[in-house]
Structure 1
Amino acid sequence: MSNLISSLPLASVRVLDLSRVLAGPWCAMVLGDLGAEVIKVEHPKRGDDTRDWGARVGATETAYFNSVNRNKRSVCLDLQTAEGQQIARELAQQSDVVIQNFKFGGAEKLGLGYDQLKEAHEDLIYCSISGYDRRGSEAARPGYDLVIQGEAGLMALNGTADQPPLKFGVAAVDLFTGMYSAQAVLAALFERQKTGNGRHIEMALFDCGLMITSYYGLEALIKGEDPLRYGNAHPSIMPYGVFDAEDGPLVIAVGNNRQYERFCREVIERPDLVEDDRFRTNLSRTANREVLAPELEREIGKRTRQVLLERLTRACIPCGEVAGLHEALTSTRAAEAGLVTTCTHPEAGSTHVLAPPYRFDGARLPVRSAPPQLGEGTNEVLRSLLGLSEQRLSQLKADGVV
Structure 2
Amino acid sequence: MTATSPGLPLAGVRVLDFSRVLAGPLCAQVLGDFGADVVKIEHPQRGDDTRDWGIRVGKTETTYFNSMNRNKRSIALDLATPEGQDMARQLVAKADVLVQNFKTGGMEKMGLGYEQLRAINPRLVYVSVTGYNRGGPEAKRPGYDLVIQGQAGIMAMNGEEGQGPLKFGIAAVDLMTGMASAQAVLAALYQREKTGTGRHVEMALYDCGLMITAYSGLEALHLGEDPPKYGNAHPSIVPYGVFDAADGPVIISVGNNAQFERLCVDALQRPDLAADERFKTNLGRGQNRAALLPELYKEIGSRPRDQLIAAMSKAGIPCGEVLGLHEALTSQRTREGGLVTEQPHPVAGTTQVLAPPYRIDGERLPVRRPPPQLGADRDSVLRDWLG
Answer yes or no: same fold by TM over 0.5: yes
> Which piece of structure 1 moves more, 296-305 or 376-385?
376-385
Question: Residue 266 of structure 1 aligns to a residue in which SS?
Answer: helix
Q: d(CA) in 2 for partners of 1:137 and 1:60?
A: 37
Equivalent position amino acid for 2:355 in 1? A
Equivalent position amino acid for 1:337 in 2? G
Q: d(CA) in 2 for partners of 1:266 and 1:2?
A: 45
Residue in 2 that maps onto 1:69: 69
Question: Residue 40 of structure 1 aligns to a residue in which SS?
Answer: strand
Instruction: Write the deviation string for residues 302-344 of structure 1: whole angstroms up to 9, x where unpaired.
Output: 1110110111012111111111111111111111111111101
Residue in 1 that maps onto 2:274: 274
Instruction: Write the deviation string for residues 156-180 of structure 1: whole angstroms up to 9, x where unpaired.
Output: 1111112111111111111110111
- Kindly report which structure 2 residues correspond to 1:123-272, keeping only aligned pairs within 5 A, or say none: 123-272=123-272
Equivalent position amino acid for 2:253 in 1? A
Equivalent position amino acid for 2:275 in 1? E
Establish whether residue 10 from structure 1 lines up as the match of residue 45 from structure 2. no
Question: Residue 265 of structure 1 aligns to a residue in which SS?
Answer: helix
Equivalent position amino acid for 2:13 in 1? V
Instruction: Write the deviation string for residues 334-372 of structure 1: whole angstroms up to 9, x where unpaired.
Output: 111111111011111111111111111111111001000
Residue in 2 that maps onto 1:105: 105
> Which piece of structure 1 moves more, 253-262 or 41-50?
253-262
> What displacement does 1:272 show?
2.6
> What displacement does 1:33 show?
0.3
Establish whether residue 22 from structure 1 lines up as the match of residue 22 from structure 2. yes
Equivalent position amino acid for 2:319 in 1? C
> What displacement does 1:280 show?
2.5
> What displacement does 1:266 show?
2.3
Distance 1:3 1:93, change over 3 A: farther
Question: Residue 342 of structure 1 aligns to a residue in which SS?
Answer: strand
Question: Residue 75 of structure 2 aligns to a residue in which SS?
Answer: strand
Residue in 2 that maps onto 1:284: 284
Question: Residue 115 of structure 1 aligns to a residue in which SS?
Answer: helix
Instruction: Write the deviation string for residues 251-297 of structure 1: whole angstroms up to 9, x where unpaired.
Output: 11112222212212222222232233322222111111122212211
Q: d(CA) in 2 for partners of 1:324 and 1:287?
A: 33
Q: d(CA) in 2 for partners of 1:348 and 1:266?
A: 52
Question: Residue 138 of structure 2 aligns to a residue in which SS?
Answer: coil
Identity %: 66
Residue in 2 that maps onto 1:396: none
> Which piece of structure 1 moves more, 183-192 or 283-292?
283-292
- Kindly report which structure 2 residues correspond to 1:318-357, keeping only aligned pairs within 5 A, or say none: 318-357=318-357
Q: d(CA) in 2 for partners of 1:385 and 1:278?
A: 67
Distance 1:11 1:346, change over 3 A: same
The answer as to whether partners of 1:5 and 1:35 remain within 8 angstroms in 2 is: no
Residue in 2 that maps onto 1:49: 49
Equivalent position amino acid for 2:155 in 1? M
Q: d(CA) in 2 for partners of 1:194 and 1:306?
A: 55
Q: d(CA) in 2 for partners of 1:72 and 1:330?
A: 26
Q: d(CA) in 2 for partners of 1:129 and 1:176?
A: 12
Q: Which runs of 5+ in 1 are unaligned?
A: 388-402
> What displacement does 1:111 show?
0.7
Following TM superposition, where does structure 1 have runs of at least 4 consecutive aligned residues deviating by more than 4 angstroms?
1-6
Residue in 2 that maps onto 1:89: 89
Q: d(CA) in 2 for partners of 1:363 and 1:166?
A: 38
Q: d(CA) in 2 for partners of 1:272 and 1:320?
A: 25
Q: d(CA) in 1 for partners of 2:128 and 2:6?
A: 28
| Number of corresponding residues | 387
Distance 1:384 1:317, change over 3 A: closer
Q: Which runs of 5+ in 2 are unaligned?
A: none
Question: Residue 202 of structure 2 aligns to a residue in which SS?
Answer: strand
Q: d(CA) in 1 for partners of 2:241 and 2:106?
A: 46
Q: d(CA) in 1 for partners of 2:181 and 2:339?
A: 23
Question: Residue 293 of structure 2 aligns to a residue in which SS?
Answer: helix
Distance 1:324 1:291, change over 3 A: same
> What displacement does 1:300 show?
0.8
Equivalent position amino acid for 1:97 in 2? V
Instruction: Write the deviation string for residues 223-271 of structure 1: whole angstroms up to 9, x where unpaired.
Output: 1111111011111111111111111111111122222122122222222
Instruction: Write the deviation string for residues 54-99 of structure 1: whole angstroms up to 9, x where unpaired.
Output: 1111111111100000000000011111111111111111111111
Q: d(CA) in 1 for partners of 2:198 and 2:159?
A: 43
The answer as to whether partners of 1:5 and 1:11 remain within 8 angstroms in 2 is: no
Q: d(CA) in 2 for partners of 1:86 and 1:2?
A: 39
Instruction: Write the deviation string for residues 363-399 of structure 1: whole angstroms up to 9, x where unpaired.
Output: 1111001000111101221244335xxxxxxxxxxxx
